[in-house]
Amino acid sequence: MQKVRKAIIPAAGYGTRFLPATKAMPKEMIPIVDKPTIQFIVEEAIASGIEDILIITGKLKRPIEDHFDSNPELEENLRAKGKEELLELVEETTGLNLYFARQAYPLGLGHAVLQAKAFVGDGPFVIMLGDDIMADDVPLTKQLIEGYEKTHASNIAVMRVPHEETANYGIIELEAQAGEGLYNVRKFIEKPEPDEAPSDLAIIGRYLLTPEIFDILEHLEPGKGGEIQLTDAIDILNKTQRVFAKEFKGERYDVGDKFGFLKTTIQYGLKHPQVKDRLKQYILDLAKELKSGNVDNQMAPKAPAPEHDKSNQQLK
Ligand code: UTP
């Protein structure tokens, strides 16, 4: 059995749910307190034993490449000023086995994955979505790798979601329980409406797949939304070899969604050594204000903002 050594991180999408921030900035670079989302994902890969990572980028995604590059001037400046801790932070993102490929047009997640065919070769590999942070005692990617070592087959992560949200996800139709939190799947369905969804188990941003997925992707027609859908390719793969669904019981943070981003920032802020105490106090004070119903008044602009500059005024 081949060892799982390679991961791909698709990060070429438009990020429309986070506009206007993503008009000129990759959503994968949006920081959670002080660390870009994609760095959390690279760290999960390394903690799971992955050795080589390919990031799929596209137009306006250069900051991702620069983030993982060295910055000799900045490093020299920090060294000269004796800012060793900051220097360490800057240096920890360099020297990794990272590779980049471009997806010229974001034609869908399946199409993004297809750009990794030559990189992957003939072994099993992992896909980690660039805007989903997963937190658990054992990293989710490692859980999938352990699943592969037991089943010798593809394992993809699923999680229960509220039934009314099924149209945002790929959803699985269960066939049978195959083990503790492990399922045989009858069908993988991309974004079904709630009245058509056969379960509440949604595909989340981690997949361990065998390389046969590429032959399928190469011939796949566009599916939902006119995009080449990875879920459709997985459904076809499951007809010739098992694709298990592994239920994730940890925390998932969808940073590509505005509310998801806010929740993630608060959760990680409450753990961050530099800000946790002040943030906790701020939240407690804010909760008191909210209870007393004062917050809206305090935060509203003192005078109505001029029409042309309303958004800026409200932020002050
Ligand atoms: P999403 O659908 O969440 O990303 O795809 P998106 O299209 O960028 O975002 P919205 O929905 O418009 O806000 C999941 C992941 O797949 C990548 C995205 O960058 C994201 O990390 N992706 C998606 C690609 O790399 N290429 C694509 O063609 C589509």
Distance from Cα 114 to the centre of ligand 1, integer Å: 14
User: 91: pLDDT confidence band, cut at 50, 70 and 90?
Assistant: confident
Tokens representing 275 are: 């800000």
**Which pLDDT value is given to residue 305?**
53
**Which pLDDT value is given to residue 164?**
95
**Which pLDDT value is given to residue 82?**
86
Name the residue at shortest CA distance from atom 18 of ligand 1: 13
Mean pLDDT along residues 57-71: 87
**Which pLDDT value is given to residue 298?**
55
**Which pLDDT value is given to residue 231?**
97
Among candidate residues 85, 28, 132, 94, the one with its CA nearest the CA of residue 273: 85
**Which pLDDT value is given to residue 73?**
87
Ligand 1: nearest atom to the Cα of 105: 28
Residue spans of beta strands (DSSP E) within the chain: 6-10, 31-32, 35-36, 52-57, 98-102, 125-128, 132-135, 154-160, 170-179, 182-190, 201-209, 243-247, 251-254
Please choose from 131, 191, 231, 253 the residue to mutate so as to test ligand 1's pocket, defined by most ligand atoms within 8 A of CB. Answer: 131
Q: How many CB atoms lie within 10 A of CB 232?
A: 23
Distance from Cα 149 to the centre of ligand 1, integer Å: 29
User: 84: pLDDT confidence band, cut at 50, 70 and 90?
Assistant: confident
User: 202: pLDDT confidence band, cut at 50, 70 and 90?
Assistant: very high
Please choose from 30, 38, 107, 109 the residue to mutate so as to test ligand 1's pocket, defined by most ligand atoms within 8 A of CB. Answer: 109
Interatomic CA distance for residues 63 and 67, integer angstroms:
6
Higher pLDDT, residue 274 or 294: 274
Distance from Cα 130 to the centre of ligand 1, integer Å: 8
pLDDT tens for residues 225-237? 999 999 999 999 9
Residue with tokens 């002040």: 278
Q: Please determine, for residue 311, whether its predicted confidence score (pLDDT) is greater than 50.
A: no
**Which pLDDT value is given to residue 316?**
28
Distance from Cα 40 to the centre of ligand 1, integer Å: 17
Query: Which of 12-26, 84-98, 171-185 is predicted with the least confidence, judged by mean pLDDT?
Result: 84-98
Pairing of the two strands 125-128 and 201-209: antiparallel
- % pLDDT > 70, the chain: 93
User: 145: pLDDT confidence band, cut at 50, 70 and 90?
Assistant: very high
Name the residue at shortest CA distance from atom 10 of ligand 1: 15
Q: Are 53 and 82 in contact (CB under 8 A)?
A: no
**Which pLDDT value is given to residue 315?**
37
| Residue spans per domain, the chain | 6-253, 257-293
Q: Burial letters for 251-269: b for 16+ Cβ neighbours within 10 Å, e otherwise?
A: ebbbbbbeebbeebbebbb
pLDDT tens for residues 111-128? 999 999 999 999 999 999
**Which pLDDT value is given to residue 237?**
98
Among candidate residues 235, 13, 232, the one with its CA nearest the CA of residue 115: 13
Q: Are 53 and 27 in contact (CB under 8 A)?
A: no
Residue with tokens 């896909």: 127
Which residues surround ligand 1 with Cβ inside 6 Å? 10-17, 56, 103, 106-109, 111-112, 129-131, 256
Ligand 1: nearest atom to the Cα of 13: 8
Distance from Cα 135 to the centre of ligand 1, integer Å: 21
**Which pLDDT value is given to residue 72?**
84
CATH number of 6-253: 3.90.550.10
Ligand 1: nearest atom to the Cα of 106: 28
Distance from Cα 13 to the centre of ligand 1, integer Å: 4
**Which pLDDT value is given to residue 124?**
97
Distance from Cα 90 to the centre of ligand 1, integer Å: 27
Ligand 1: nearest atom to the Cα of 131: 21
